[in-house]
Amino acid sequence: MMDELTKEQLRELQRIAEEVSNEAKKVKSEYKKNPSEISGSVIHVNQNSPYLDETFKGKSWKKIIKGGIEEALSHIKKTKKSLGKKKKK
């Protein structure tokens, strides 16, 4: 088995790396122009996890959405609607 790549293989690898890099730059640019509504980090912890009880005490639980992605998106949409109604008053 050969330990080194040929010149042709190196050129092809460089071309592919440049193509992937350019595509990543496009994605980043598009995201800056049109950010996703569901952007951010999502951490899934089982709702019965002792971690939650140890970490979130008292009113901290108000910032936690129990359930899956669908419930989280629904909660975000409801919150945005209620905030919009409050601003109009």
Do 49 and 72 belong to one domain?
yes
CA 14 – CA 3 distance, rounded (Å): 18
Residue 6: both structure tokens together: 């040929």
Residue 76: burial class (beta carbons within 10 Å; 0-12, 13-18, 19+): middle
**pLDDT at residue number 67:** 67
Secondary structure letter of residue 57 according to DSSP: -
Taking all residues of the chain, what is their mean pLDDT, rounded to a whole number? 76
Model-wide pTM > 0.75: no
Residue 65 pLDDT > 80, yes or no?
no
**Within this chain, do residues 44 and 61 fall inside the same structural domain, yes or no?**
yes
Q: What is the tens place of the pLDDT at every residue in 3-14?
A: 788 999 999 999
Domain ranges, residue 82: 39-89
Q: Number of structural domains, the chain?
A: 2
46 and 81 both lie in a single domain: yes
